[in-house]
A and B are shown apart, each in its own frame.
Chain A
Amino acid sequence: MTGPFDELPDTEWVGDEAGAIVRPYVLTRGRTEPASGRFDLVTLAVTVRSVPHRDSGLDPECLTIVRLCQQPQSVAEVAAHTNLPAGTVRVLLGDLLDQGYIALQEPHSETDMHDERLYRAVLDGLRAL
């Protein structure tokens, strides 16, 4: 995971500010939409393959996501834990979905919101907190 610039912490030609902006787009190679899948902020992702080794060719960020999603995580959680913008995470998750590393669970749609069992379960759960 050691990159060529890791040994140069004082490098000034890319400041922290610039890095925070540039890095997400480099990671996604300029893409702003995922190649596969529909990703709401609460779409859940779970890793369905054994976590690959560092030399698998996955970006360090993708490796982190694959590890993180061994427990199901929402897009928002993955974004928060990796410090990446949600849009970047969507693109990376789309790639990982294509490569068979993760599976997705879509959130409830508006039509699912007419299921009385859902409300009963949520109310019971909240009361039991």
Chain B
Amino acid sequence: MDSVRSSRDAGRIKLPKAIKILVAGGFGAGKTTLVGAVSEIAPLSTEETLTNRGVGIDDLSGVESKRTTTVAMDFGRITIGDAYRLYLFGTPGQERFWFLWDELALGALGAVVIADTRRLADCFPSLDYFERRQTPFIVAVNCFDGARRYDLEEVRLGLTLHEDIPIVMCDARQRESGKEVLIALVEHAMRTRLGATVGGDPPSP
């Protein structure tokens, strides 16, 4: 009887839909800083315990060939009315955790790749990953104090970034700046996925 009641309750409850946005970039580029600047909650950290099942799956001795790794991810939240909730995930930086990115990237609205002009090459792996996976992404150049200021087109050249990929300056510590980055990403993801239909008048009934 309880289960009947609970399933009816479940049908009545209107929950928001969750939307994932990934924040990637090299170590120390400002991923967690950006998440913290725009999140409505203090950034939280969750751990994924991963089992590397790749090699030796049929090996009966199994136990030794399985390796578990724990990866910590920081994330924040932005509530959009009653209908949506954005969750921003800082992706674990190391290359060997990309199988975790696959789970994160599945169904994600898009990604922000943070570039640190002092170490531009650090964000190459992230760019390659999202290009290959065709996840819409933009590049946000984090302007650290004292970092050499680059012309955005210079950075684009340095990253060999396709001209369709937006590139914006940001200060990852500033909420307003972080908001602008997210808006640029959502606009880009909308254009990428919906193409020419965006902005046109809805067909008359």
Interface residues of A (CB under 8 A from B): 24, 32, 40-44, 46, 48-49, 72, 74, 76-77, 79-81, 85-88, 100-101, 103, 105, 107-110, 112-114, 116, 118-119, 121-123, 125-127, 129
Q: Are A123 and B187 closer than 8 Å at their CB atoms? A: yes
Q: Are A109 and B107 closer than 8 Å at their CB atoms? A: yes
Q: Are A122 and B47 closer than 8 Å at their CB atoms? A: no
Q: Are A118 and B85 closer than 8 Å at their CB atoms? A: no
With contacts A40-B106, A48-B10 taken as known, whether A105 is within 8 angstroms of B18 at the C-beta atoms is yes
Show 7 A/B contacts (Cβ-Cβ < 8 Å), sorted by A: A41-B75, A41-B104, A48-B9, A76-B87, A108-B19, A129-B38, A129-B175
Interface size on B, residues (CB 8 A): 52
With contacts A103-B9, A107-B17 taken as known, whether A125 is within 8 angstroms of B45 at the C-beta atoms is no
Q: Are A76 and B2 closer than 8 Å at their CB atoms? A: no
Q: Are B51 and A32 closer than 8 Å at their CB atoms? A: yes
Contact residues in B for A46 (Cβ distance below 8 Å): 13, 15
With contacts A72-B16, A116-B194 taken as known, whether A129 is within 8 angstroms of B6 at the C-beta atoms is no
Asked whether B182 is an interface residue with its Cβ less than 8 Å from the other chain, the reply is yes
Q: Are A126 and B78 closer than 8 Å at their CB atoms? A: yes
What would 8 more interface pairs be, CB under 8 Å, given A112-B107, A126-B182? A41-B20, A41-B104, A48-B9, A86-B48, A108-B109, A121-B83, A126-B186, A129-B38
Q: Are B19 and A118 closer than 8 Å at their CB atoms? A: yes
Q: Are A76 and B75 closer than 8 Å at their CB atoms? A: yes
Interface of B is mostly: mixed
Instruction: Give the total number of A-B pairs whose CB atoms are below 8 A apart.
Output: 147
Give the contacting residue for B86; candidates A43, A85, A114, A122; CB below 8 A: A122
Render B161-179 as a binary contact track against A, CB cut-off 8 A, 1 for contact: 0000000000000010001
Q: Tell me the B100-144 residues at the A interface (CB within 8 Å).
A: 103-104, 106-107, 109
Contact residues in B for A113 (Cβ distance below 8 Å): 107, 109, 189, 193
Asked whether B57 is an interface residue with its Cβ less than 8 Å from the other chain, the reply is no
Q: Are B197 and A119 closer than 8 Å at their CB atoms? A: no
Asked whether B44 is an interface residue with its Cβ less than 8 Å from the other chain, the reply is yes
Contact residues in B for A76 (Cβ distance below 8 Å): 44, 46, 73, 75, 87, 89
Contact residues in A for B75 (Cβ distance below 8 Å): 41, 76, 80
With contacts A44-B16, A100-B2, A107-B18 taken as known, whether A125 is within 8 angstroms of B49 at the C-beta atoms is no
Contact residues in B for A48 (Cβ distance below 8 Å): 6, 9-10, 13
Contact residues in B for A123 (Cβ distance below 8 Å): 183, 186-187, 190
Q: Are B80 and A85 closer than 8 Å at their CB atoms? A: no
Q: Are A121 and B2 closer than 8 Å at their CB atoms? A: no
Nearest first, the 9 A-B pairs at minimum CB distance are A125-B80, A103-B10, A100-B6, A80-B44, A105-B15, A42-B18, A119-B190, A79-B46, A48-B9
